[in-house]
Amino acid sequence: MLNSKIQLSLNNQVNAEFYSAYLYLSMAAYFEAQGLKGMSHWMKRQAEEEISHGMKIFNYIYDRGGRVTLTQIETPPSNWKSPLEVFQESFKHETHVTKLIHDLVKLAQKENDIATESFLDWFVQEQVEEEASVATIIDQLLLTQENGASILFIDKHLGERKND
């Protein structure tokens, strides 16, 4: 059985994961409007992944006898200056999510909830991958120096992302 502090924090994380999906869908919409369908595709896959993360926590809460409470999802930004700015914002967001996950791990340790600490290990590893993936795209975009042909090449490559 989850204690109330862990349950509240996991509920907050479910909502944070769903906000992440909402943010990535907003980024996908921005890329669609810019005609960058590959980048849009990448962001849509990212949104799907965030929903699956939220559902993984959702299910864990019920597996441990808890209760999920969903709250209002904040409206994400919808306009950026460039593809680089979008991915920089994505990286900033992923580092924020990493901090949230780390705070959850610390709380589980403090509350001596070994099951939750073990469950969260997957998310810790996932955040390493998330940050590295976005950092690579940022590095590539920085190399392009806003060169249109290079951006289109990256766009094509990102459009090939499969479901993770």
Q: What is the pLDDT of residues 24-35, one digit of tens each?
A: 999 999 999 999
pLDDT of residue 161: 64
Tell me: pLDDT of 149 over 90. no
Question: 164 lies in a domain?
Answer: no
pLDDT of residue 121: 98
pLDDT in tens, 100-144: 999 999 999 999 999 999 999 999 999 999 999 999 888 888 888
Phi/psi of residue 39, nearest 5 degrees: -65, -35
Which tokens sit at 45? 């896959």
CB 20: neighbour CB atoms within 10 A?
25
pLDDT in tens, 14-63: 999 999 999 999 999 999 999 999 999 999 999 999 999 999 999 999 99
How does the average pLDDT of the chain come out, rounded? 93
Give the range of the structural domain holding residue 24, as residue numbers without chain letter: 4-158
- Per cent of the chain over pLDDT 90 is 82
Cα-based angle 148, 132, 70 (whole degrees, multiple of 5): 100
Q: Residue 146's pLDDT band (boundaries 50, 70, 90)?
A: low
pLDDT of residue 147: 61
The pTM (predicted TM-score) of the whole model is 0.91
**Number of domains the chain is built from:** 1
Question: 163 lies in a domain?
Answer: no
CATH code of the domain in which 44 resides = 1.20.1260.10
Question: 32 lies in a domain?
Answer: yes
Question: 21 lies in a domain?
Answer: yes
Question: 98 lies in a domain?
Answer: yes
Question: 28 lies in a domain?
Answer: yes
Q: Residue 164's pLDDT band (boundaries 50, 70, 90)?
A: low
Q: Sort residue 120 into left (φ over 0), alpha (ψ -120 to 50) or beta.
A: alpha
